[in-house]
A and B are shown apart, each in its own frame.
Chain A
Amino acid sequence: MTVLIVDDHPSFRATARALLEAEGYDVVGEADDGASAIAAAEALHPELVLLDVQLPDFDGFEVAARLRSLNGATPAIVLTSSRDGSDFGPLVAESGARGFVPKAELSGSALSALLG
């Protein structure tokens, strides 16, 4: 599965890429803000976009919403950096993202579970 990782922290992007690739995912691109994320998604047509909540320009939910309007069915999963996922539940639902995964618990199986 082709994946686009969107996060403004390079160290996280690198670790996530290594982790996902080790689990057989094909990380086709990275982006460090919302605008470049949308541009990369348009260019690369990934099968999954992982979105950090906090981005320098838009937040992850905003990007998810825009992606849905652009590419139709490109699924997005929001990465949260803390355990206060309940804070974001309604926002996840509104943005059209498939769900959220705490960054520390990122794994192929977690993504698979959300993608069904």
Chain B
Amino acid sequence: MSYTRRLWLSFWPAALAVGALTVLIILQSNHDDQRVVTAVLGPLVGWSFIAAGLVAWSRRPANHTGRLMVALGFAWALTALTEANDKWIYSTGLAVEAIFLAVFIHLVVSFPTGRLSSRLERTIVFGAYGVAVFANALSVLVDPTPIPDCKGCPPNAFLLAPSDAAATAVQVAADVCGIAIAAAVVTLLVRRWRRATPAGRRVLSPIYLSGGATMILLGIAFAVDPWAGGFAGLLKLLASLAFISVPYFFLAGLMRARLARAGVGRLFVDVPENPSPEELHAAFRRALHDPTIRLAHWLPERRLYVDLEGWPFDEVEAGRTLTPVEYEGRRVGALIHDPSLLEEPELLEAAVASARIGLEKDRLQAELRARLIELEREQDFVRTVVDTAPALFCVVDTEGNVMRFNATLSRLSGLPDDDSGRGEPFTKLFLPSEDAASFHLALAAADGEEFESEWLGAGGGRRIVAWSVMPIVDAQGRPRRLISGVDVTERRRQEARTRALLDAMPDLMFRMTREGVYVDYHAHDEVELVSSEVIGRSVYDRLPRPVAEQALAAARRALDEGGVQTHEYSLEVRGVERQYEARVVASAADEVVSIVREITDRKEQEHEVRKSRARIVQAADAERRRLERNLHDGAQQRLVSLSLALRLAEARIPDRPEGAKQILTEAQQELAQALAELRELARGIHPAILTDRGLAAAVEALAARAPLPVEVAAMPDERLPDAVEAAAYYVVAEGLTNVAKYADASYVRVTVERRNGVASVEVADDGIGGADPRAGTGLRGLADRIEALGGRLEVESPATGGTRLWAQMPVG
């Protein structure tokens, strides 16, 4: 037994029985003035819903709309109970007569699926059931006249507490709820309708037209009922008519789907033998009433959908549904359609069946179109690459006549790649005439060998191009030659500029790796390279080991720390010791450039300057020492002797006046001699103690004469060179003088040390600080003296207090 048959056997006898029962009740009613009309219409309405519901149920078992319509038909039959003369049946009818309205609202709100999908829908439907059951149940408990002005109605059997006021209150409350529910339903339907696609509206329209009209009329009727009972009655009558029409509209909708399915079956009758994509789409849209429907081919080897024109299909957009189309178990395409089509499965199935035929017919062409599109895209891509690449391309025939060339060569030559150049000799268009012969040799060889020559540029100029010729075959299989090249004009110019710069520089230039392997070099005189081979060799191959290590260390510093790293070294070149200075900078991630300059002359000059300064200082010191010695040995001794002689003469005057006179005469001569010597020597004094006793004694002497405590913290054990001792002495003397004059100090510490070939002298006080080292000539002269010895002098005198005079001198 089929499902349909089983359904009908399950419900239809019951429907007939219920209908017969209602006819019986109505015909016996003594309070219905139009018993015959009611007895005919009442069962008919119920049967209409039940029959339409069974049809829908049997066709779409998964859809609940059919069940709801069946339920509505039976709920409607309950309203006939109010026609009964028996007070119990009559009163029961009053209590349940509104249930069919709740089922009806359930049907309308849940259409087309028959399921409640949102909270709002559930709220409306449960609210409707609640009002339908409770309002009428309450009413029969309190209303003495549930049907006003009813002549012959039996008494209300359930009346517990008769109260007109309570009855009115219940009625008003029920009306308000009814209005609210009706308004909510209408709002929901309007919103859904506005959002629906054309195909969706087609599905919704049967129920929405009849059911929506019913709800609107009922809503208005409830609203006007308290004021205009007659008008409300008319509206309720119209609502009843609209309600009665619901199953018929529903059946009409089903019929239209069936008709549409038949239309789909004839889809290709109106379509030409080989329809264009537009014609095919138009046929489907017409048949399915969906103006947005699209068909797609499935290309199994590439596992993608393409549209009828061959373009790859983008993802299915939101709000659309893709239904695959299969043929003999394999996918051949898809229908992309409005989701509402899913509500009409027979129609969709028919459409898929039709699409299957159409798509299968068109499949080969679609694949061809897709391949063509792909090839065109590939061609566009290649053309873009060829035209935008910096390389020059030109295809010529084996004779050297131009077939075509790319945009880069067009820009370089100023010639358009059009028919005007095609067939012309390449040499005529692009090369100076003198290069024609060598070009033809290259063309004949076509072995990819690289050449570099001048080509004719736009505007009559020349460009330097690095080029080669390779054999190729064109699309028709003819042998051709591809001339490809790169414009290296700017690069060559840049190289020429760099070369000129390097030629102008007296320096050696090397590029080498972090490991010290030479990559490139530039030298004016190959002899300076020391080695006959440089590139590819290591610094250890070219330079003595200590110098090589120095160079490698500088390269690593340049790479790791950045900046310019310098190092100096000496090499024997042509038997002569030469001094070099190398400046090393990173030129790539793991490569440095080293600029090497010979500084022999500079070094010698510096050395000479230092030596000459030292000589000056030594000469001056020697002169001072000579002066001091002369003074000591000459004038001073004479004066000492003179002093003693005068005292001796004085002692002899009383008893030996003649002897005294003799002494005085000699003394006069001695004095004259002393004066003469003094005049000669009065040019300066070298500290005698320094000469005689050395620096330590001289510093002790300075310390002893100073007007404040001086600590001589350290003195060298050995004598220092004379010039250094003199300079150190003067540093201490100057320092102590300044301390005494300006520092307001309570303590001075003097330190003279010799360490690692350097003598350092320091005079530090605890005074007020803030001394200006540039003020006065004493320190400047001192600095000159020390710098002449290759040393330096510094003064630290912060404003916070304390002054430190500090000198360093090399002592060899």
Contact = CB atoms under 8 A, between A and B. Distances in A.
Interface in A77-104: 81-82, 84, 86-87, 89-91, 103-104
A47 interface: no
Given A12-B641, A81-B640, A91-B693, 14 more contacts: A8-B633, A9-B637, A9-B641, A11-B638, A12-B637, A16-B644, A19-B644, A19-B648, A22-B652, A81-B637, A84-B701, A86-B701, A87-B697, A103-B640
B373 interface: no
Interface string A60-91: 00000000000000000000011010110111
Nearest to B647: A19
Residue among B648, B652, B704 facing the most chain A CB atoms (10 A cut-off): B648
A106 B701 CA distance: 23
Nearest to A80: B640
B442 interface: no
Contacts of B637: 9, 11-12, 81
A87 B640 contact: no
B164 to A, nearest CB: 142
Interface of B: 632-633, 636-641, 643-645, 647-648, 651-652, 670, 688-689, 692-693, 697, 700-701, 704-705
Ranked nearest first, the 7 interchain pairs of A and B with the lowest CB-CB distance are: A104-B643, A103-B640, A87-B701, A15-B644, A9-B637, A15-B641, A11-B641
B583 to A, nearest CB: 54
B222 to A, nearest CB: 133
Interface residues of A, number: 26
B197 to A, nearest CB: 120
B692 A86 contact: no
A106 B644 contact: yes
Interface of A: 8-9, 11-12, 14-16, 18-19, 22, 53-54, 59, 81-82, 84, 86-87, 89-91, 103-107
Given A9-B641, A87-B689, A81 B636 contact: yes
B489 to A, nearest CB: 85
B644 A54 contact: no
B697 A91 contact: yes
A95 B288 CA distance: 135
B632 A54 contact: yes
A18 B648 contact: yes
A98 to B, nearest CB: 20
17 contacts: A9-B637, A11-B641, A12-B644, A14-B641, A19-B647, A19-B648, A22-B651, A22-B652, A54-B632, A59-B692, A59-B693, A82-B688, A84-B701, A91-B697, A103-B643, A104-B644, A107-B647
B560 to A, nearest CB: 57
A16 to B, nearest CB: 6
Contacts of A106: 644
A84 B640 CA distance: 14
Nearest to A53: B692
Nearest to B691: A54
Contact of B639 (A14, A19, A90, A104): A104
B644 A103 contact: yes
A29 to B, nearest CB: 19
A19 B642 CA distance: 12
B361 to A, nearest CB: 129
Contacts of B632: 54, 81
A14 B430 CA distance: 115
A15 B645 contact: yes
Nearest to B645: A15
A92 to B, nearest CB: 12
Contacts of A90: 700
B192 to A, nearest CB: 121
A30 to B, nearest CB: 14
Contacts of B652: 22
